Homo-oligomer: A and B are copies of this chain.
């Protein structure tokens, strides 16, 4: 009794030299009906660790039967992954237009008459039917959006996103695997999932509003948030069954297969709690889980153009006034200023990530920190 693993390619784009780049879709079906989890990695082209975790997950799935279904998209943005300049990957945004690949998803249910119609006609339906039927509606809406999107040609901005949204439509749980620049491991969690997110044992979590900000997590949960509020206006209390998280797996540009085995445990534990995996994995002793609101997630911008020494590591707590980074600017020798200067904490916090190079122009995103965090 094993899983059925099937795979297919979806042609996505064509290089100037004529070769095609494709999405690689892996579908794992268990022998029993059950929930559907959708997992993708590296929509930002430099954020590789999710693929290592997917590799570990595939190893696991070869021998461990699941209940329900898992759809897996490794290397979900081949164009971004292949945008190498020098030895690094220029994968955060479309190199033609500058648009952040994770800010190009579509919001097609906001103020949608179709959603209102749907809610009206399902006021009395049970939740299971609503789920099933609503997913069908979402698929229709996406396909209609896609038809419009390609009317004047296959606009790169949004095409990969629409395709990924389409693939995720049928799912109950979405995990979008990312990394930071130099970063610790953390989650983006919508407000309505703050409690449920406890099953994903990553140490830090940013609580984001139930609003559309163009990212994959929002693009997949907002149709359900919108349905909920439409039902509410019609007098029905609707519990959102759907979950979507952005999972940040450390630093960009690197994979580590050993850490991936560890990351996998957290993912498997989540899948176990959602009924897709029977056996609970043996987790390491739990660390504290710390949260803050997105509005308390602060960016320190480089005060000077300089070489920066990072005084503390991502994942570390600090106090107001602590030295977070030390800059060296030899031009200061010619300005009667000391070569060295310090960037100090404006408030207590936790360092989540820092700029991936020590060479920083003034005004760049030097550090990102959680302030006003709580557990």
Contacts and interface: CB of A to CB of B under 8 A. Distances in A.
Contacts of A362: 13-14, 154, 156
B18 A305 contact: yes
A299 B363 contact: no
Contacts of A308: 255
Nearest to A55: B328
Interface in A7-33: 7, 9, 13-22, 24, 26
A307 B363 contact: no
Nearest to A81: B17
A330 B363 contact: no
Contacts of A357: 46, 84, 87-89, 253-254
A26 B333 contact: yes
A328 B21 contact: no
How many copies are assembled?
4
B300 A82 contact: no
A91 to B, nearest CB: 8
Band of interface residues on A? 35 or more
Contact of A365 (B58, B97, B254, B360): B97
A334 interface: yes
Interface in A64-120: 74-75, 78-79, 81-82, 84-90, 92-100
A294 interface: no
Contacts of A358: 48, 253-255
Contacts of A17: 21, 75, 78, 81-82, 305, 331
Given A302-B153, A359-B81, A98 B87 contact: no
Nearest to A47: B359
A346 interface: yes
Contacts of A19: 19-22, 78, 82, 305, 331
A240 interface: no
Given A155-B299, A255-B308, A302-B153, A361 B88 contact: no
B300 A363 contact: no
B307 A16 contact: yes
A48 B235 CA distance: 59
18 contacts: A14-B306, A15-B361, A16-B82, A19-B20, A19-B82, A24-B330, A48-B307, A55-B339, A58-B339, A86-B96, A89-B357, A98-B99, A151-B346, A152-B298, A154-B363, A155-B301, A255-B309, A257-B326
CB-CB nearest 3 A-B residue pairs: A18-B331, A153-B301, A14-B305
